[in-house]
A and B are shown apart, each in its own frame.
Chain A
Amino acid sequence: MTAELPGGQMAHRPVHFFWLLDCSSSMSINGKIGSLNFAVREAIPEMQRVAKDNASAQLMVRAIMFANGAQWHVQAPTPIEDFHWTDVATSGITDLGAALRLVAEELRTPPMPPRALKPVLALVSDGQPTDDWRSGLRAVDDTPWGRRAVRVAVAIGQDADIAMLQEFLDNPELQPLQANNPKQLADAIRWMSTVAVKAASMPHGGRDTAVLPQPPTSVDDDADDVW
């Protein structure tokens, strides 16, 4: 029989997942915010399944909503097993920069532990930022974990700022996912919340950015587009 392992406390390494959700007034048009709430809620069991399959990583989820400024919707890092979704509501403008500065504060070490897997930043937006979002992005890039974060983004509807989302991604091999109807949004949210977690949860060395598989492709039928 093997003797007990010597040494101090052992623990799985955390993967911190941050939702950055656009809750501006335009998200209330044609049921976008309702579809987003539904999609995030539906993605939780998938995230729990992925977390279970990667037992050596501990998936911790938080959420920020941005409109007039930004605020925590779920502030405490919550294990995905205990994560429940409370609907977000809409109001005001699109202060993405405030959201990025808010998450940047959490990507410093501390409060991030030195011993962690790459965090995930998942941005969802339907419009043009109304504040200085580039300074927010710089604040994220100025943190060691922000630079190395796995980033994914969803553009809701035709008015979304694709160039801004592409700059946020900082990865020429990855484009923002386009969601022009509720089904595409649900698919995109499911993809970004599971594939990105898988990519972040696998320990590997070197200097490459996490490689994400191709996102879902939907049948290009404009007749289904509502946004």
Chain B
Amino acid sequence: MSDSAWRLLAASAKGPKKKVNQDYHDMHVSSDGAEVFMAVADGHGSAAYPRSDIGSRLAVEAFLEVVTEFWRSCNRDDQLRHVHFRAKEDLPRDVVHNWRSRVRDHLEREPFTGAVPVGPEIYGTTLLGAVVSEWLVLGWQLGDGELCVLHSDGEPVLPLYDSSEPAGDETYSMCSPGARHLMRLYWAPVQAEQPLRLLTLSTDGLSNSFVSMADYLDFVRGIDRRLSDNGADQVAADLPEWLKRASSYSGDDTTFVGAWCNPRLQEGSDVRNSQVR
């Protein structure tokens, strides 16, 4: 970690009227400091999904296990088209399969006796995950929430934003039929131009606290500015209070994780969105 140019930020706040925080997150830097693996999930939380807090944890665990294995099998010398195919087809299938397997195991260990039909649905959750490396940046999204990237030009972008997502709080889910096909992919091979400075994942409790998506993007822009001006330690210390304030507006659990590349430590590893080679 100390050898890595990447600094990690993570915090979560429970919604003001929620009994438990149904969001979950986890992230880590690889042992050589070259890659960051990160994920957040937002359990649906309503009566039809009584174990969604567990479902979100299982989704993050499933993603990180699968993506770590996926990444181990990727090689910089591979044809990018081949890696892209696996990222688009294999990883969503494997993550959903892994999550469903974890759900089955959990149900066996702790049978559910409630008013709703028992099945994966009671664990319903969204999922956002990413891998950041020196040659490729990848992100996956199933359901709502935001994956935001900010390059050296300082302008935050939502590459997976989908205006056709259901209105209100309804969202696609890990328990949706054909969930693997609902997972969207962000694909950004590293090129020798604008380097990636910040990649963030957040649950919709954060974006819903702002009047508009432009106001949310201002938040990410502001985080980037504070990171540059005040350093990651100060931002990490402030983040929990900021999320608590945001959740008081959205009324929802609110989670934010980010990987920030200190520009002073960054040496020529450039990442930008591009097409498959």
Contacts and interface: CB of A to CB of B under 8 A. Distances in A.
A158 interface: no
B177 to A, nearest CB: 11
Contacts of A5: 219, 241-242, 245-246
A26 interface: no
A57 interface: yes
A114 B246 contact: no
A8 B209 CA distance: 10
B205 A203 contact: yes
Given A3-B226, A203-B169, A205-B170, A56 B248 contact: yes
A7 B214 CA distance: 9
Contacts of A12: 249, 251
B143 interface: yes
B173 A8 contact: no
A6 interface: yes
Would you call the interface of chain A mostly helix, strand, loop, or mixed?
A: loop
Contact of B173 (A55, A201, A207, A210): A207
Given A109-B167, A207-B173, A56 B17 contact: yes
Contact of B218 (A3, A8, A11, A54): A8
Contact of B170 (A56, A114, A202, A206): A206
Nearest to B42: A205
B238 A144 contact: no
Nearest to A147: B167
A116 interface: yes
A10 B166 CA distance: 22
Interface residues of B, number: 57
Counting chain B CB atoms within 10 Å of each CB, the highest count among A12, A54, A145 belongs to: A12
A210 B222 CA distance: 36
Contacts of A144: 166-167
Interface string B90-122: 000000000000000000000000000000000
B251 A57 contact: yes
B15 to A, nearest CB: 7
Contacts of A54: 17, 251
Nearest to A203: B252
B212 A115 contact: yes
A165 B17 CA distance: 32
Interface string B147-186: 0000000000000000000111111010010000000000
Q: Which of A5, A11, A54, A57 has the most CB of B within 10 A?
A: A5
B70 interface: no
B225 A148 contact: no
Contacts, number: 149
B219 A202 contact: no
B170 A148 contact: yes
Given A7-B222, A206-B48, A208-B47, A115 B208 contact: yes
Interface in A171-227: 201-208, 210-211
B215 A207 contact: no
Nearest to A56: B251
B143 A205 contact: yes
B46 interface: yes
Given A6-B222, A10-B209, A10-B249, A205 B46 contact: yes
Given A55-B248, A56-B249, A6 B223 contact: yes
B251 A202 contact: yes
B208 A3 contact: no
B234 interface: yes
A211 B48 contact: yes
Interface in A1-52: 2-3, 5-13
A211 B124 CA distance: 16
Nearest to B203: A205
Given A204-B49, A205-B49, 14 more contacts: A3-B226, A3-B234, A5-B241, A6-B242, A7-B218, A7-B221, A13-B249, A57-B251, A115-B210, A115-B211, A205-B45, A205-B171, A207-B173, A211-B46
6 contacts: A5-B246, A6-B221, A7-B221, A10-B215, A13-B251, A54-B17
Q: Which 4 interchain pairs have the tightest Cβ spacing?
A: A6-B222, A8-B215, A56-B251, A7-B219
